[in-house]
Each structure stands twice: as structure tokens, then as C-alpha cells.
Amino acid sequence: MSERKPKEKNNGKKEKDSLKEELGFTEDSIMDEDEVIDDDFIESVDDEDNPEFINEVKKFEDEHKNAKVISVFQKIGSPKYKKVSDIKKDNLADEYKKLMLLLDEHNIIVHFHNDYPVSEKYRFITEEIFKEAIEEDKKNKNAHISFIYEDFHPEMDDDDEDDDY
């Protein structure tokens, strides 16, 4: 029979410290379990207990509970349109312009932070944006709905590269 040695109390701490050192962490780059709770976290939880906040949430829910949800395509009148592959290159810019004007008439805005071919913009609107569900707001006819290409395709966002120093 082999003899078991009693575990030392600091053995777990030594293992943690060894692992931290192995991974290249410094004392400044990590927090112990007791440091995780900070004031910002506590304040965000307190907001949920705030009666004014709760009233605003209830008000928002009441305003939207009977709202009808429709697609962007339905919102703009279910227009006839061609697939991007069926449009001649010479006509693509005109078809895209018509589409953008139609969206604008219904206060729907599609933003592109970067430059893309017109064919990609047209495809994005007809194949992705048309399917998006939106709330039909008959009370506020002037409300704008915005879509941003890079929100759907974050890999295409060049802004991340600008942040590098």
C-alpha cells in the first residue's frame, strides 16, 4: 500500500500561480475571483430595480404589444423586381436607383460604409433586406428604418483595420 500525503493548503494556489506564469499573465493582467465584482456591474443590476426604468420598459411593451410585423418587401408594396443575375450590366445602375428611391419613399435607408459594386448592393437589398421583419408603424409615418450592410456582413467592415496603430 502506498501512503497518501496530506495535501497542502497552498498547493492549489501554487498551481494557479504556476499556470498564470506559464501563460504569461502578470499580476496586473488578471483578477482574482474576489475582484470580479465591481461597481459598474452592481450599478447595471440596480437599473433593473429602478422604478422609473421598469415603467419605461412597461410603456415600451404596451406601445408595441399589438404592433403588426411585416417584411420590408411588404412595407414597400411587394414590387416586381428582377434578380441581380437577370439584369444586364448596362441597366443595373438604373434598377438600383429605382430600388433606392422606392425604399426612400417608405423611409427605409440602407447604408454602406464602404464601396461595393452596384450588383452587390442590389443583391443585398433584394435578397437580404427584403426578408427583414419590421414593425408596421401606422402612428408615426415619418419614422425611419435603417439597415447597415456591415452589420449583416461584419467581415467586410474596414473600420476595424483603421483602429490598428
Considering the domain boundaries, does residue 10 fall inside one?
A: no
Q: What is the pLDDT of residues 115-159, one digit of tens each?
A: 999 999 999 999 999 999 998 877 777 889 999 999 999 987 665
Task: Look up the domain containing 136 and give its range.
Answer: 68-162
Quick check: 165 pLDDT over 60? no
Q: Which residues on adjacent β-strands are paired with residue 156?
A: none
Specify if 152 maps to a domain. Answer: yes
SS (H, E, C) 62-90: HHHCCCEEEEHHHHCCCCCCCCHHHCCHH
On whether residue 95 sits in a domain, the answer given is yes
How many folded domains does the chain comprise?
A: 1
In a domain, 54, yes or no: no
Q: pTM for this one?
A: 0.62
Q: What pLDDT digit, counting tens, does each position of 10-58 carry?
A: 556 666 666 666 666 655 555 555 555 555 555 555 566 788 888 888 8
d(CA 32, CA 41): 16
Residues in the chain: 165
Is 75 part of any domain?
Answer: yes
Q: Report pLDDT for 93.
A: 97
* 43 within some domain: no
Residue 24 in domain: no
**Residue 107 CA neighbour count, 13 Å, CB half:** 11
